[in-house]
Amino acid sequence: MQRIARLSAHLNPTNPQMEESAILERVNCRAKGGAPGFKVAILGAAGGIGQPLAMLMKMNPLVSVLHLYDVVNSPGVTADISHMDTGAVVRGFLGQQQLEAALTGMDVVVIPAGVPRKPGMTRDDLFNINAGIVKTLCEGISKCCPNAIVNLISNPVNSTVPIAAEVFKKAGIYDPKRLLGVTMLDVVRANTFVAEVLGLDPREVDVPVVGGHAGVTILPLLSQVKPPCSFTPEETEYLTKRIQDGGTEVVQAKAGAGSATLSMAYAAVKFADACLRGLRGDAGVVECAFVASQVTELPFFATKVRLGRTGAEEVYQLGPLNEYERAGLENAKRELAISIQKGVSFMKK
Ligand SMILES: NC(=O)c1ccc[n+]([C@@H]2O[C@H](COP(=O)([O-])OP(=O)(O)OC[C@H]3O[C@@H](n4cnc5c(N)ncnc54)[C@H](O)[C@@H]3O)[C@@H](O)[C@H]2O)c1
Ligand SMILES: O=C(O)C[C@H](O)C(=O)O
């Protein structure tokens, strides 16, 4: 009976009467029965990205505990996801007063919280709303799980990552290896579009995408595609433009109903899974991410990084660029510098 009472309390994960000790006992009990794994929180879990991301994370065998936090609708999403017969224990958290409980003890925190674009907007137009959201969430991370690996999805990534870094510095817990801006969707798109042109299976294609995550700052290195191949100048122009404008293509197709959510959830899980494999100690886990970097003169830049037990343990150099890519790099750096500075200035106000 006691067991049933505990489980029914869990049906309303935000039930204030549910004692923390009972929750922890149940979670520990389930975690013992399941495979050992990592604790992952999704902040913004009820959103367009958050929901499919929560579903895919619940399917990941490396996850033992999944915390779903949002300022709206997280109880419903939690009840729904928790019925999936996979190993991870799911708990929901609603509203700012439950942020600390959502974050305590987490190994990885994935952040897709914030407003998306509508047609005609740039990612930078989201700055005024999303900067404050990211700041608050990162303050929570500083306090409750300062050693967690943070995967930051909220736009504009080119500015929100510098904001997060400043929050962590202020709290005295900043470790650049653990703060990763998610640019995986650019890589996913690049692999898909390049595979279409080459007539290959996208799973066989690997395109490094460097720089940042907005317009010309998204710089696909088509000269470094694997398997080795070459493109005509027209193909290079078409592919570069399509990869840079991939987000806008989706925003326009959705016609006011938001931006990429499903492909982003896929990309976010692909990236989070790489982080988890790195945490587990797997060798040779390499993905692109927007991180603190000395590859260029800018303090942040996206390149391939090696993911390990402590986060982005190695940041790779750009490798040889052709003339087209060198010109693209100069454009990307100009715009990136402004976006990074905007994030830093927001925190210095
Ligand atoms: N990095 C990338 O490649 C990439 C790709 C796609 C979208 N995005 C960005 O991801 C963000 C989310 O997009 P979406 O389509 O899921 O938007 P959405 O509006 O569907 O969902 C956002 C969720 O965040 C929640 N939220 C708002 N304020 C919050 C707070 N203070 N704490 C916790 N949750 C909060 C909302 O309640 C909502 O559920 C946007 O900024 C979008 O531009 C980034
Ligand atoms: O384009 C957007 O606003 C969302 C996201 O950054 C994307 O690349 O799809």
Proximal ligand: closest to the CA of 215: 2
Domains and CATH numbers, the chain: 2-181 (3.40.50.720), 184-348 (3.90.110.10)
Per-residue pLDDT averaged across 294-315, rounded? Answer: 98
Measured torsion, CA atoms of residues 53, 56, 61, 63, in degrees rounded to the nearest 10: 20
Q: For 52-73, how does the pLDDT look when each residue is reduced to its tens digit (9 = 90+)?
A: 999 999 999 999 999 999 999 9
What are the backbone dihedrals phi and psi of residue 307, each rounded to the nearest 5 degrees, phi first? -95, 130
Amino acid 2: pLDDT: 58
Per-residue pLDDT averaged across 116-122, rounded? Answer: 97
Per-residue pLDDT averaged across 222-247, rounded? Answer: 98
Is 159 annotated in some ligand binding site? no
Asked whether 77 and 53 are in contact (CB, 8 A), the reply is no
Is 258 annotated in some ligand binding site? no
Residue nearest to atom 27 of ligand 1 (CA): 114
The finding on whether 155 has its CB within 6 A of some atom of ligand 2 is yes
| Residues marked as catalytic | 213
The finding on whether 74 has its CB within 6 A of some atom of ligand 1 is no
| pLDDT tier for residue 119 given thresholds of 50, 70 and 90 | very high
Proximal ligand: closest to the CA of 253: 2
Closest-lying ligand 2 atom to the alpha carbon of residue 186: 8
Distances in whole angstroms, Cα of residue 311 to Cα of each of 143, 169, 172, 314: 19, 17, 18, 9
The finding on whether 130 has its CB within 6 A of some atom of ligand 1 is yes
ipTM value? 0.99
Provide the whole-model pTM.
0.93
DSSP-based three-state secondary structure for 300:
strand
Q: For 126-175, how does the pLDDT look when each residue is reduced to its tens digit (9 = 90+)?
A: 999 999 999 999 999 999 999 999 999 999 999 999 999 999 999 999 99
pLDDT > 90? residue 246: yes
Is 44 annotated in some ligand binding site? yes
